[in-house]
Amino acid sequence: MEETTFTPLNPLRTPILFLVFNRLDTTMKVFKAIRQAKPPKLYVAADGARESRGGEAEKVKAVRDYILSNIDWECEVNTLFREQNFGCKMAVSGAIDWFFANEEMGIILEDDCLPSQSFFWFCEELLERYKDDMRVWHIAGNNFHFGWKRDENYSYYFSYYGSIWGWASWKSRWDHYTVDMQGYEEIKSKNYLWDIFGNQSEASFRISNFDEIINGLNTWDFQWAYTRFINSALSIVPNVNLVKNLGFGEDATHTHSKNDRRANMGIFNISLPLKNPKFLIRDKKSDDKFFNEFIKYESSFIKKIAKKVLKK
């Protein structure tokens, strides 16, 4: 971890949703960061154990007990502890629905997404700044450029992308989310995604993601990306990486390979107050760099591995 010293300008005012399940080790690390930030409201959502996994009920209980027994600051605590297992798709999307049914804006962290301390205040400042600007729907904690910056003058840029490994948003934006991606067949059949990205390569990549949802992939996040795309919504991406995913490994749901470049990212603090752009324009150069050097690379790598497996 490459976090530098950070001193907040004010006590945190923003509520946090903490999504947890059965991994006590990563939960403890992320909770330590939340505990240090001392949010005034903490929402904790946990899916139920899977009956087919022996010993998982005990792990789920240990995670819940640890969090509730270590909230030692003045804080309103709300819990959504499932008795049954809903799976990633419905458990996470349902928890975010619950969060935004109670809050107009907030920060969302999963149990394997470790933030720097400035992440919380970065989100808070921008949630307030852009709350009435419906061009901006998502505030990301990740920057995958590994130190490269197009513009040193500002603290962040506007993007069509936006990681969900530590993020923030508003109820007014999340209300547009549909877990079954309403309208997708029309968007796909008329190839409207080409209009968004301007090239068939990326449109095809996105269609392959969304088709996985239609075919039953048990996740919730592609749907949030789809929601933003079809509403021409922008995300905010910090100029330094503020969150590290701790979940790479065999036990992870989606992030399996420890050799993934994202597994070894440093996390940093960002200087406050933020240096805000004087304009609101998508940074296509940064988006193209991200797609060409990361998404295209990762998707082609995965396809090569899949072909090798099929040949065996």
CATH number for the domain spanning 230: value is 3.90.550.10
Contact by Cβ (8 Å): 245, 167: no
Calculate the average pLDDT of the chain.
Answer: 90
Which residues are CB-neighbours of 25 under 8 A, at least 6 positions away? none
Band the pLDDT of 256: cuts 50, 70, 90.
very low
In a domain? residue 54:
yes
In a domain? residue 241:
yes
Closest to 149 (Cα-Cα) out of 36, 253, 238: 238
Q: How far apart are the first and last CA of the chain?
A: 39
Report pLDDT for 113: 97
d(CA 227, CA 233): 8
Closest to 8 (Cα-Cα) out of 305, 269, 294, 284: 269
In a domain? residue 195:
yes
Band the pLDDT of 252: cuts 50, 70, 90.
very low
* Structural domain span for residue 158: 16-311
In a domain? residue 33:
yes
Band the pLDDT of 259: cuts 50, 70, 90.
low
Report pLDDT for 109: 98
Is residue 260's pLDDT more than 60? Answer: no
Which residues are CB-neighbours of 19 under 8 A, at least 6 positions away? 45, 46, 92, 95, 108, 109, 110, 111
In a domain? residue 148:
yes
Report pLDDT for 297: 58
Closest to 105 (Cα-Cα) out of 82, 78, 87, 132: 132
Average pLDDT (38-43) is 98
Average pLDDT (188-192) is 93
Of the given ranges (85-99, 120-134, 163-177, 250-264), which has the lowest mean pLDDT? 250-264
Give the residue ranges of DSSP H helices in the chain: 24-37, 56-69, 87-102, 117-129, 171-174, 184-189, 192-197, 200-214, 221-230, 284-290, 296-311
Q: What is the pLDDT of residues 48-71, one digit of tens each?
A: 999 999 999 999 999 999 999 999
How many separate domains does the chain show?
1
Average pLDDT (173-181) is 97
Is residue 243's pLDDT more than 90? Answer: yes
Q: How many residues does the chain have?
A: 312
In a domain? residue 10:
no
In a domain? residue 250:
yes
Closest to 274 (Cα-Cα) out of 240, 243, 244, 245: 240
d(CA 154, CA 179): 34
In a domain? residue 8:
no
Report pLDDT for 76: 98
Q: Which residue has the higher pLDDT, 154 or 300?
A: 154
